Every structure is written in C-alpha cells, then in structure tokens.
Amino acid sequence: MKQFLLVFIGGGFGSILRYYISKNLNAYYSNFYLGTFLVNIIGCLLIGILIGLSLKNNYISENQTLLLATGFCGGFTTFSTFALESNILFKESSLLQTSLYMGFSVAIGILAISLGLWICKML
C-alpha cells in the first residue's frame, strides 16, 4: 500500500507542475506547444538521472524511485498530450511544423535520458 501512495503523491505533484508549465508556455507558442515539449524533455532528463542514481550503488532507494521516477516523472511527462498536440498541429499547421515538433520531442527526449544516465556515471 505504501508503494501505491508514493506513486500517487509523486504523480499528483508532477501533474500539477506539468499543468502549470504547459498552461503558461503553450499560450505564447501555439504553433509549437513549447510547454509540453519542455516538460517532456525535462522529464526525460530527470528520469535518466533518477534511474542512473538508482542503478549506481543504489544511491536512491526503491521507494524514492517510485516516488520520483514512476510517480513524479510519470505525472509530469505526458505522451498522450504530445500525441494529441501532434494531431492538432498536423490538422492545423504545416507538415514541417508537425514533423519538427514530433522529431525534436522524440530525439531530444532520448538524448536527455542518455545525458541523465551519463551524468550519473560521472558522479
């Protein structure tokens, strides 16, 4: 039961922060959804660091990993919103804008996870 509570609490905080960032940044950059993009990239970097710390000599505990990686990062990042916004861009904007948003989100997200893991190896 404690594990479910940790994921629940972390997910709640992550979701609130995602909502705040996306609401504020997406309003200014409607042709790119900058808020969702940044949230997903930051979340990828953060989960890379957290998993890296977890794997490196058990620097963070299983409960901390559940709270922060599974809960917070799971609530903070949002693939479903990314897919919806990609669909909207595809219907309302150019194919180039849609491709850039999707390509940058996936490629930079993967690089951010790799960077997070690399940072932990260097510690």
pLDDT tens-digit readout, 33-73: 999 999 999 999 999 999 999 988 788 999 999 999 999 99
Residue extents of the structural domains in the chain? 35-122
From the list 54, 60, 65, 72, the residue with the least C-alpha distance to 9 is: 72
Please state, in angstroms and rounded to a whole number, the distance separating the CA atoms of residues 10 and 23: 20
Given a cut of 80, whether residue 30 has pLDDT beyond it is: no
Q: Per this entry, what is the length of the chain?
A: 123
Residue 2 structure tokens? 């404690």
Average pLDDT over residues 73-79: 91
74 annotated to bind ligand: yes
Please state, in angstroms and rounded to a whole number, the distance separating the CA atoms of residues 90 and 43: 24
- Reported for 55-62, long-range contacts at CB under 8 A and 24+ positions apart, including other chains, are 55/120, 56/120, 56/121, 56/123, 59/120
pLDDT cut 70: percent of the chain above it? 99
SS3 call for 46: helix
| pLDDT at residue number 21 | 95
Residues 6+ apart with CB under 8 A from 104: 37
SS3 call for 53: helix
Given a cut of 80, whether residue 29 has pLDDT beyond it is: no
| pLDDT at residue number 13 | 98
Given a cut of 90, whether residue 79 has pLDDT beyond it is: no
